[in-house]
Each structure stands twice: as C-alpha cells, then as structure tokens.
C-alpha cells in the first residue's frame, strides 16, 4: 500500500480517499468517547479494548478476538503461536501487500509463492497442492481488495495435508465466503485497522481471531510481554503489541456502521461497473460465493495503457493508485535473501495492468460519474 499518498489528497478534485468526511459524520460520538477515555486515565488493556474484542468476535461469529498493535503484528503473533519458523514453508500468493509474508518470515519460515486466479486476484486453489512439500506447514490466503479467497477449496486441501491456515483479512472486514465471515475459517484470522481499511482506527491497530481457546490464550500472552496479566510471571518471549483504549473506542463506534459502509462501497462499485461496461476496463469477477467488502476498486487496464490513463486522470484531478506494482517475490528485501525464480505469469501480468480507482463509503455517485466520464473520454477522445 502507498500509505502516505492515500492520506494526503487535499489538492485533488476527486480524492482517492477522504477520511475527514467519515470523521465529520461520526464526530460528536467519537469526541465524546475519546474524552471518556482521557478522563478515565486507563489507556492500555482496559474496558474499551475488552468491549471491542467482544463486539468484533460477535460480529464475525468467532469465539475469540484479541486486539493487537497492527495487522502485521497480528500475523507475526499468529505464526509464533502456531510454532511455525525456521525450516518451515508457508504457501502464500506473491500478489499481495508485502506485509502478508512478514508474519512468518520474521520467524525464519520461507514463502512458497503460488499464482493468483487472474479473474479474482486471489490465490488460485488449483495450484496449491502442487506447491506442497514435506516442509509445508501452513497456507496463508489473502482476501485481497475485499473479496474472499475460495475457502472451501483451501480448507479441503489444508485438512487433507494437515496444514494450518492463517487468513490475511487486513482488506476484508465484513467479507464472506458462502455466508460465513472471512477470517473465521482457518486457525487464525488476522485483521488490520490501518486508517484507510474498511474498519479503520485513528492510528495503527489489528486483531487476531480464532475459535481455539488454547491459541487465544497464547496470543493474549504473546501480545502482552509474554505474560497473561501484569501480575503473572512471563511464560513466553513476548511483544508489546496491544490495541490501545483510544483506538478501541473509535473502532467500537465504527463497527456499528461497518455493514452500511460496506453496502455503500458495493453500490458505488456497481455504479463503476455499469458506467464503464462498454470500455476496455476489466473489473474482477464477482464470485457468487464471495460477498466482497469492496476494500478497493481495482480494475485492469489492458493494452499497456495503464500509465497513460493514470496520467490523464491525474490531469483531470482524479487520483489513482496501484496496489501493487511489485509482487513480493520481486521486492528487494526478498531478493536479498533468495534468488529463486518463480513461475507466476498471472501475478506478473496483473501487476502491469491494475489501477485502483477512488472508492470510499462517503464518496458520492456523482463523483463516480465524473471519474467514469473522464475514463470514457480517455478511450473516445473525439
């Protein structure tokens, strides 16, 4: 993610994202709750975090939710809790935000990259079994751009080969697969509350969810310096990775609106699809089993026209981004430690074609019309 750009759009006519609009609509309640926390003097591991953990678990239909400091930390703690590390392999798409692999690479495990289904941008389940080796310990599906990966197929493979599953749900709060919420299929679901996410804090935050009481206790311990409470001895080599009270109270308020926000994202996305139906722009397939949370409005711009279209839109005052130009297996940090070559044709082609168009719940249909008009004009200049 190109985070700094996503948050600084004041000079554009149609921003890529505008967090201030959402703040205005919830301002009174948020200021009141934040004031309450300031007055309480309790900033870490207090009642707000506990309340939000319960609400989020209930929303997802999962037994345990543990607030942590970021989505990356959620992944790091999840893989530590599973004991995955040196000598182990994890199957993961290279076509994702780079942080997806940090969770297990920090513990010394190595990625085995599997290509995506070019129609959905998610890991292609038909290619997973071929990638399994005696060292494989887990599969890490990423519910990219808000659309759930095929969890029926992934869980079937995981059960057959006795592999753990950690879902990266950083971009898919509220998404579902066959009516069940993304993040609740595997051993762990790992969420990010980075401000621009579907459920975003006013700073960093994350959540690990699980149905296992044993794994939940491990995460509770690992996030809190390796002890289960401040009075207990340290049973683990832990981290300081807790969601704080201020973020929790903001997230609790926003959670009540998440379904409405996601519905609006869906409606705006359909508006894009309808308006651009007769252009060369290609949108991802909407899989009938996947209820997308439409985190991003990503489209393919074929025939090598991606950059010229982006330049054109930029001149018209429309900001676009690219998520992501460089797949993980070509990132410098990975190349430094591995020169392995990977056969990922769909990943490579997709990174060359994709563009992220403006999409956020407070965007208006009129703004979508304007973006679409510019794209129409780009393709039919006369």
Taking the complex as a whole, the smallest distance from the CB of residue 328 to ligand PLP amounts, in Å, to 11
* Cβ nearer to ligand PLP, comparing 139 with 368: 139
Distances (CA, A) of 25 to 4, 21, 39, 263, 359: 23, 7, 24, 17, 17
* Cβ nearer to ligand PLP, comparing 248 with 281: 248
Q: Residue number with the shortest CB distance to ligand PLP?
A: 71
* Cβ nearer to ligand PLP, comparing 88 with 168: 168
Taking the complex as a whole, the smallest distance from the CB of residue 134 to ligand PLP amounts, in Å, to 28
Give the interface with ligand PLP as residue ranges (CB under 6 A). 1, 70-72, 96-97, 99-100, 142, 168, 170-171, 192, 194, 204, 206
* Cβ nearer to ligand PLP, comparing 127 with 207: 207
Pairing status of strand 110-114 against strand 89-93: parallel
CA–CA dist 8, 43 (Å, integer): 28
Least Cα distance to 292 among 270, 307, 325, 314 occurs for 270
CB atoms within 10 A of CB 380: 9
Taking the complex as a whole, the smallest distance from the CB of residue 382 to ligand PLP amounts, in Å, to 40
The enclosing H or E element of 265 equals helix 258-275
* Cβ nearer to ligand PLP, comparing 165 with 368: 165
* Cβ nearer to ligand PLP, comparing 71 with 291: 71
Taking the complex as a whole, the smallest distance from the CB of residue 74 to ligand PLP amounts, in Å, to 7
Taking the complex as a whole, the smallest distance from the CB of residue 3 to ligand PLP amounts, in Å, to 7
Instruction: Name the residue with tokens 């300081």.
Output: 240
Extended beta strands in 115-159, E state? 136-139
What contacts 197, CB < 8 A, 6 or more positions away?
170, 171, 173, 295
Taking the complex as a whole, the smallest distance from the CB of residue 379 to ligand PLP amounts, in Å, to 30
């Amino acid at each position: 993610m190109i985070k700094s750009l996503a948050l600084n759009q004041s000079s554009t006519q149609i921003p890529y994202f505008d967090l201030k609009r959402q703040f205005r609509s919830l301002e009174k309640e948020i200021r009141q709750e934040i004031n309450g926390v300031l007055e309480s003097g309790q900033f870490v591991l207090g009642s707000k975090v506990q309340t939000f953990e319960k609400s989020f678990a209930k929303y997802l239909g999962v037994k345990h939710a543990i607030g942590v400091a970021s989505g990356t930390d959620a992944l790091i703690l999840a893989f530590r809790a599973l004991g995955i590390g040196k000598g182990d392999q994890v199957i993961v798409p290279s076509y994702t935000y780079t942080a997806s692999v940090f969770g297990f690479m920090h513990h010394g495990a190595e990625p085995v990259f599997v290509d995506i289904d070019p129609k959905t941008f998610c890991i292609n389940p038909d290619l997973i079994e071929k990638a399994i080796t005696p060292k494989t310990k887990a599969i890490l599906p990423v519910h990219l751009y808000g659309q759930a990966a095929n969890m029926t197929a992934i869980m079937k493979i995981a059960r057959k080969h006795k592999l753990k599953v950690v879902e990266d749900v950083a971009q898919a709060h509220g998404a579902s697969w066959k009516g069940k919420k993304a993040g609740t299929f595997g051993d762990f679901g790992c969420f990010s509350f980075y401000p621009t996410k579907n459920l975003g804090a006013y700073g960093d935050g994350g959540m690990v969810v699980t149905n296992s009481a044993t794994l939940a206790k491990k995460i509770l311990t690992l996030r809190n310096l390796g002890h289960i409470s401040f009075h207990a001895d340290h049973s683990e080599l832990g981290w300081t990775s807790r969601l704080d009270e201020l973020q929790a109270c903001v997230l609790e308020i926003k959670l009540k609106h998440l379904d409405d926000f996601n519905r609006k994202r869906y409606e705006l996305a359909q508006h894009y699809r309808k308006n651009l139906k007769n252009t060369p722009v290609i949108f991802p397939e909407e899989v009938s089993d996947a209820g997308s949370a439409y985190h991003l409005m990503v489209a393919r711009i074929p025939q090598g026209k991606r950059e010229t279209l982006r330049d054109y839109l930029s001149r018209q005052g429309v900001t676009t981004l690219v998520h992501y130009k460089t797949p993980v297996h070509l990132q410098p940090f990975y190349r430094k430690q591995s020169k392995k070559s990977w056969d990922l044709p769909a990943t490579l082609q997709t990174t060359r074609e994709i563009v992220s168009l403006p999409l956020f719940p407070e965007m208006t249909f009129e703004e979508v019309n304007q973006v679409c008009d510019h794209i129409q004009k780009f393709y039919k200049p006369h």
